[in-house]
Structure 1
Amino acid sequence: MKKVKFYSMLLSFAMLFSIFINFQPSDVSAATATSKTPVVFVHGLTGSDTNFALIKRYLRSQGWADNELYAIDLPSKQGHQELNSTAIKLFVDDVISKTGSSKVNIVAHSMGGANSLYYILNKGGSSKVEKLITLGGANRLTTNYAPEGIKTTSIYSSSDYIVRPYLSMLYGANNIEIRGVSHIGLLSNYQVNNLIKSALEE
């Protein structure tokens, strides 16, 4: 049993080390100054950076430029907090470096909400994130409270049967409940898009 635990810890360390050595942000291109605070999108379980294609298209139609919208492809599709929060840290640092912005805004779906909160609370993200917007976020797997000093909006649906609303609500956040939208539907709903835009512009 001790050997199994040792090898499990060794494997976790090796995976974490490989992120530092090999992780390359999938969506960050050449350095360009931005007029808006860059937005970083963080997907949930089994997701990918492509999950936010429709939201990004909507924001582009509302005045956001390509170099202000970045989506990360997380290393752990199972939502491993330590691995994913480290990847988010490296990605955000790279976006800040490439854009010249001092902070980013994060839009996160599902377990991406919990991973983003873990990054903010445990990996130095509190000084690098201006706004956090979660969509059906599994937020309470990390904390019950909105991070201090960060304008937090939690958007969730009473029709979401994957992440129930009580897991998304945070004390101190602007908690917004909508109806008739599924968990995956939060990524492609016009009402949700409008709420994201409003939260980003507050």
Structure 2
Amino acid sequence: MKVTEAASPFLPLCQRLFPTKLAGLSMALLKATALELAILAGHLLLYPSGITQERRTGHPLPPPDVATELPTEAKPPVVLLHGFIDNRSVFLLLRRNLAQHGRQHIESLNYSPLTCDIRTAAELLGRHVEEICERTGHERVDIVGHSLGGLIARYYVQCLGGDSHVRTLVTLGTPHSGTRVAPLMNAHPIVRQMRPGSAVIEELTGPAPGCRTQFVSFWSDLDHLMDPLETACVEHPDLLAQNVRVSGVGHLALPVHPAVATGIRQALDIEVSGPRAVSRTGGGLTVA
């Protein structure tokens, strides 16, 4: 994946932020770092606009005597779920991209920044999904989760029976096997739950026979929040999953970069018609 030449204006800042590591950085990493800083600055400006929950769209189904079936070509609603200490504003560009390519019903959910338990957040997500299905008349939805949002959605799907309501779960830079980055943040309970070997991570390694949701996980070779990098891959023998490698893009850029958005659209367009519709874990595509 190619990123425009944006590194040079940010080099002095990079030198101040990473003085001991700059000598060994590749140009690709410098570009990715510059892009991350630019996205962070833009996101800080947009953050206030995403603090409140968005207005719900769609209408309840009409009474049974006048109910009509949804068109067979109607695509499921897409639910967007943000990451740790973030809100729905991170999905502004992705939401617009999906809408421009035929997704008529897209909802971005906020969970409280005070959330301290992945299980509780997953239960809340489940109630939202059921409400969306009831309101729109669809039996299932698609979910795109960034970072922690993907882990919350996976817990809902795999441990709370959410596979009956979620057709496809796309995760972006999600620590499926736990991440060791930023040990100083262990004071926060939800950060501890994202560590390798935590009770939540161990639950997700347990058996999941018959899980009906298909998983597509995007992981980046320059994701500074995934340690190790491959923790962002779904590795589970019972799950239908595809791991997509993204080159040259950092953690914050995953829900923003247009090439990743194209990959997400393609993932959401996959129709599951049987056990061979997507490959088991271990395979992988590359977005480049």
Amino acid at match of 2:233: M
**Inter-CA distance 145–175: structure 2 relative to 1 (3 Å threshold):** farther
Is 1:49 aligned with 2:112?
A: no
The answer for the alignment partner of 2:265 in structure 1 is 197
The answer for the alignment partner of 2:121 in structure 1 is 84
Query: Deviations along 1:77-134, whole A, 9 cap, x unmatched?
Result: 5562122112101110111011100000110000111111111122220111100100
The correspondence for 2:152, drawn from 115, 121, 134, is 115
Is 1:29 aligned with 2:66?
A: no
The correspondence for 1:167, drawn from 217, 224, 231, is 231
Q: Identity rate of aligned residues, in percent?
A: 25
Amino acid at match of 1:194: T
Contact 1:104 1:129 in 2 (8 A): yes
The answer for the alignment partner of 2:251 in structure 1 is 183
**Inter-CA distance 157–79: structure 2 relative to 1 (3 Å threshold):** farther
Q: Secondary structure at the residue paired with 1:170?
A: coil
**Inter-CA distance 112–79: structure 2 relative to 1 (3 Å threshold):** farther
**Inter-CA distance 155–145: structure 2 relative to 1 (3 Å threshold):** farther
Matched residues, number: 177
The answer for the alignment partner of 2:18 in structure 1 is none
Q: Secondary structure at the residue paired with 1:41?
A: strand
Note the C-alpha offset of 1:163: 2.1
The answer for the alignment partner of 1:154 in structure 2 is 217
Unaligned runs of 5+ in 2: 1-51, 61-69, 179-200, 271-288
Q: Secondary structure at the residue paired with 1:153?
A: strand
Contact 2:219 2:230 in 1 (8 A): no
Aligned CA RMSD, in angstroms, stands at 2.3
Query: Deviations along 1:171-191, whole A, 9 cap, x unmatched?
Result: 241001111101000011011
Amino acid at match of 1:158: D
Contact 2:157 2:213 in 1 (8 A): no
Contact 2:216 2:241 in 1 (8 A): yes
Amino acid at match of 1:193: A
Contact 2:168 2:213 in 1 (8 A): yes
Q: Secondary structure at the residue paired with 1:57?
A: helix
Note the C-alpha offset of 1:140: 2.3
Distance 2:116 2:98 in 1: 26
The answer for the alignment partner of 1:38 in structure 2 is 77
Amino acid at match of 1:166: E
**Inter-CA distance 114–94: structure 2 relative to 1 (3 Å threshold):** same
**Inter-CA distance 123–136: structure 2 relative to 1 (3 Å threshold):** same
Note the C-alpha offset of 1:64: 1.6
Query: Deviations along 1:136-173, whole A, 9 cap, x unmatched?
Result: 11222433589622111000110001124321111241
Contact 1:79 1:112 in 2 (8 A): no
Contact 2:86 2:113 in 1 (8 A): no
Distance 1:49 1:193 in 2: 16
**Inter-CA distance 91–113: structure 2 relative to 1 (3 Å threshold):** same
Amino acid at match of 1:151: Q
The answer for the alignment partner of 1:6 in structure 2 is none
